[in-house]
Amino acid sequence: MEQLNNNGQILEIKDLKVVYKTDLEVVEAVNGISFKIDKGKTCGLVGETGAGKTTTALSILGLLPERTGKVLDGEIIFEGRNILELPDEELRHIRGNAISMVFQDPMSALNPVYTIGDQIGEAIKIHNPELSKEDIEKRVEDMLQLVGIVPSRKVEYPHQFSGGMKQRVVIAIALCCEPDLLIADEPTTALDVTIQAQVLAMIADLRDRLGTSMLMITHDLGIVAKTCDDVCIMYAGKIVEAGTVEDIFSGNRHHPYTEGLFGSIPNLRVKSARLKPISGLMPDPTDLPVGCEFSPRCEKCMEICRTQKPDIYTEGTHKIYCHLYSGNVNNNGETVPEEEKTDE
Ligand code: SF4
């Protein structure tokens, strides 16, 4: 199954562009993003609703809505192969076997009229048709044990489980074929805070034990700090800042949107009367700004930001997509002529 490329990366996304097209409009959901996940590592994809995180995940799995969703450009290299070019049959084999997804809402991810044992067993059977009934039963019990549910509860129905226990079942289904890559789309959003901590600890433990690589989609920087090795901050279909978890949490320079995200969460070490949320709303994805996508909400917006897309500023593993650092403006916010630009 495992067929890593030379760099030890399990997934590499290159310049991915995805749109949703209807007769009336074109929604630009993902606008040329690139990132990679190393084997055994967890990459966090962070941003508010509408940033394009889930569309990215659905593109990886080939699950974009058939009529409207379209990958316009780019590559999704999984274990050395561009999965956008694979025939449906092969993609179906990869989905569930090599890549699994944990969806946001465990309540709607499970079928209410089948026992949880049947639902885990079905996933195992589809991907391992050679297994006997006894072997499948044994695997179901092992999976329940792995996610901390007593195996004897396999005969119970979803309504007999709490939200946190249901999410454990969903995770068991996602892990039952021992995927090389697990995509977790806001896996704890629908859960109580105390249960969230348990589920996150369990995911981290399973990742360490099974060596699974992970794409953690979230809007919660606390979850990123706890579970991720690398982080991509997404805004309006673009990755506006990326780096290791240290770059994002301890680096000196940040994209104004990342600063806004940090300003929106309470900090016990800093005394402040109020939190500082990011004002305004995400731009209309059918009519994105000509220049920087964040310019209508950015407190540091300069003239150039409204008319010109920024270049990417790179410092080691840390990348920021912003005119403040890309050498296009001087300290006064004036545009630097091409011949006066420096590399920094
Ligand atoms: Fe703000 Fe300009 Fe940077 Fe965009 S490019 S984030 S508007 S400073």
Structure tokens given for 96: 């569930």
Q: What is the pTM of this model?
A: 0.87
Higher local confidence (pLDDT), 330 or 259 = 259
Q: Is the pLDDT of residue 202 over 90?
A: no
Judge if the beta carbon of residue 215 lies within 6 A of ligand 1: no
Q: Is the pLDDT of residue 268 over 70?
A: no
Nearest CA to ligand 1 atom 3: 322
Say how far apart CA 17 and CA 194 lie, in whole Å.
37
Predicted confidence at residue 2, as pLDDT, reads: 43
Distance 222 CA to ligand 1 centre (A): 25
In testing the pocket of ligand 1, which one of 238, 253, 292 has its CB within 8 Å of the most ligand atoms?
Answer: 292
Q: Is the pLDDT of residue 201 over 90?
A: no
In testing the pocket of ligand 1, which one of 258, 282, 294, 303 has its CB within 8 Å of the most ligand atoms?
Answer: 294
Cβ–Cβ under 8 Å, residues 306 and 289: yes
**Tens-digit pLDDT profile for residues 276-296:** 778 888 999 999 999 999 999
Secondary structure class of 59 (helix, strand, coil): helix
Higher local confidence (pLDDT), 74 or 343 = 74
Judge if the beta carbon of residue 298 lies within 6 A of ligand 1: yes
Cβ–Cβ under 8 Å, residues 116 and 156: yes
Closest atom of ligand 1 to 301 CA is 7
Closest atom of ligand 1 to 299 CA is 1
Across the chain, mean pLDDT equals 88
Predicted confidence at residue 46, as pLDDT, reads: 96
The label of the residue with tokens 């090389």 reads: 180
**Percentage of the chain lying above the pLDDT 90 cut:** 62
Q: What's the number of CA atoms in the CB half-sphere (13 Å) around residue 153?
A: 17
**Tens-digit pLDDT profile for residues 102-161:** 988 888 889 999 999 999 999 999 888 899 999 999 999 999 988 889 999 999 999 999
Predicted confidence at residue 340, as pLDDT, reads: 62
Amino acid, res. 26: V
